[in-house]
């Protein structure tokens, strides 16, 4: 049975909750503005130990975030609807710092956490039927509403979260081949913009007098084990890679390591607040991405995928790859966030080394 460990302070408050095969919890002290400051000799001070509850922890971003938190000696509570799936991703023998909580135990884990990160949501790269479109929206809104309710219910307790990092997406801005967008730009008027507005509205219902809210509008995440590249690389290796549609659509990307570091910094640094675009500072046209990827994997980018073929496979969902937006991370740059991969060449080369 996986136990939520304490945070290394004397006499922690104990929290009782019903036990399941997968979940128990112990309360931890409130997370108090745990910023990576500098000490007298200008070396970074470590972030004090914390417990972080995460939805979507078994996903592409979530798995890497859990690994980073554990590597820095923090504890993680995985909020899941499938304890068996979560246990297969995070086996107790390998992840002793992880608690797996089924839905009935979410509230207890949230109340006992220093911070909460919300990454849950049904993937959008699929054919959009009316039922799928409803599920895309509801999967985000329902989980966000539930987590916000648990955070707000915890505000009278001695132990409660002080920061809520909720993922959203750059789809908020709509699409354009000629305009660029930053955190001050208005929302678009298409389906994904509508989803993002409602998603963010539910997150904003958290009690912001006591809880610092960070809304991360995340771009296309690049990594070898998931996201767009996991589907594109096999095509290139078969000499079938190429731009989708015209190739002129903007591709606002971010490397997996950088988005995980941005989430981590959003948890730890009290200067991070409000909307922050989770994209690299140098977006590219999709044709350039495909050309660079072809060069990195040693395969030509010569066979464009026609628009009609994508629409035949994905229907309305083809808009995710046929239309794009140029999104700039103005807020992250102002906050001094340091990108490991500011340019797509470096990001792709790093990914290719692991193939």
- Please report the pLDDT score of residue 110 as a whole number: 96
- Please report the pLDDT score of residue 158 as a whole number: 65
Report the C-alpha gap between 150 and 37 in whole angstroms: 30
- Please report the pLDDT score of residue 226 as a whole number: 74
- Please report the pLDDT score of residue 287 as a whole number: 87
- Please report the pLDDT score of residue 313 as a whole number: 62
Report the C-alpha gap between 27 and 56 in whole angstroms: 22
**How is residue 38 annotated by DSSP?**
B
Domain ranges of the chain: 51-353
Helix, strand, or coil (residue 122): coil
Two structure tokens written together for 260: 């995980």
Report the C-alpha gap between 243 and 255 in whole angstroms: 20
Domain range 51-353, its CATH number among 3.30.870.10, 3.30.70.370, 3.40.50.720, 3.40.50.970: 3.40.50.720
The H or E element that residue 98 is part of is: strand 98-101
Report the C-alpha gap between 38 and 268 in whole angstroms: 14
Q: Which residue has the tokens 């995070």?
A: 90
- Please report the pLDDT score of residue 37 as a whole number: 38
Average pLDDT along the chain, 355 residues, taken 10 residues at a time: 37 33 36 39 67 96 97 97 96 96 95 96 79 91 96 80 96 95 97 95 96 96 79 63 79 96 98 98 92 80 70 70 91 98 95 81
Contact yes or no for 257/185 (Cβ under 8 A): no
Q: What is the pTM of this model?
A: 0.84
Report the C-alpha gap between 300 and 223 in whole angstroms: 20
**How is residue 322 annotated by DSSP?**
H
- Please report the pLDDT score of residue 276 as a whole number: 98
- Please report the pLDDT score of residue 247 as a whole number: 84
């Amino acid at each position: 049975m996986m136990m939520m460990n304490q945070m290394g302070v004397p006499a922690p408050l104990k929290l009782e909750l019903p036990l399941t095969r997968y979940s128990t919890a112990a309360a931890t002290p409130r997370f108090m503005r745990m910023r990576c400051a500098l000490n007298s000799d200008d070396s970074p001070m470590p972030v004090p130990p914390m417990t972080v509850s995460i939805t979507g922890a078994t996903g592409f971003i979530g798995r890497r975030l859990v690994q980073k938190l554990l590597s820095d000696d923090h504890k993680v509570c995985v909020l899941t609807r499938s304890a068996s799936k979560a246990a297969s991703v995070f086996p107790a023998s390998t992840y002793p710092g992880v608690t797996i909580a089924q839905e009935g135990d979410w509230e207890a884990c949230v109340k006992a956490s220093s911070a909460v990160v919300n990454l849950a949501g049904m993937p959008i790269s699929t054919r959009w039927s009316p039922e799928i479109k409803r599920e895309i929206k509801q999967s985000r809104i329902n989980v966000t509403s539930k987590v916000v309710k648990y955070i707000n219910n915890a505000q009278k307790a001695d132990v409660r979260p002080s920061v809520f990092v909720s993922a959203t997406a750059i789809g908020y801005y709509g699409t354009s081949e000629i305009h660029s967008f930053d955190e001050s730009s208005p929302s678009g008027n298409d389906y994904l913009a509508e989803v993002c507005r409602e998603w963010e509205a539910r997150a904003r219902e958290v009690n912001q007098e006591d809880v610092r809210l960070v809304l991360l509008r995340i771009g296309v995440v690049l990594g070898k084990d998931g996201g767009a590249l996991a589907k594109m690389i096999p095509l290139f290796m078969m000499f079938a890679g190429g731009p989708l549609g015209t190739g002129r659509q903007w591709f606002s990307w971010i490397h997996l390591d950088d988005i995980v570091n941005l989430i981590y910094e959003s948890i730890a640094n009290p200067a991070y607040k409000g909307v922050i675009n989770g994209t690299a500072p140098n977006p590219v046209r999709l044709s350039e991405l495909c050309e660079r990827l072809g060069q990195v994997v040693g395969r030509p980018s010569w066979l464009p995928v026609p628009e009609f073929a994508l629409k035949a496979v994905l229907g309305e969902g083809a808009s995710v790859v046929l239309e794009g937006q140029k999104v700039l991370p103005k807020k992250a740059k102002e906050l001094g966030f340091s990108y490991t991969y500011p340019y797509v060449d470096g990001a792709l080369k790093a990914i290719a080394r692991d193939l």
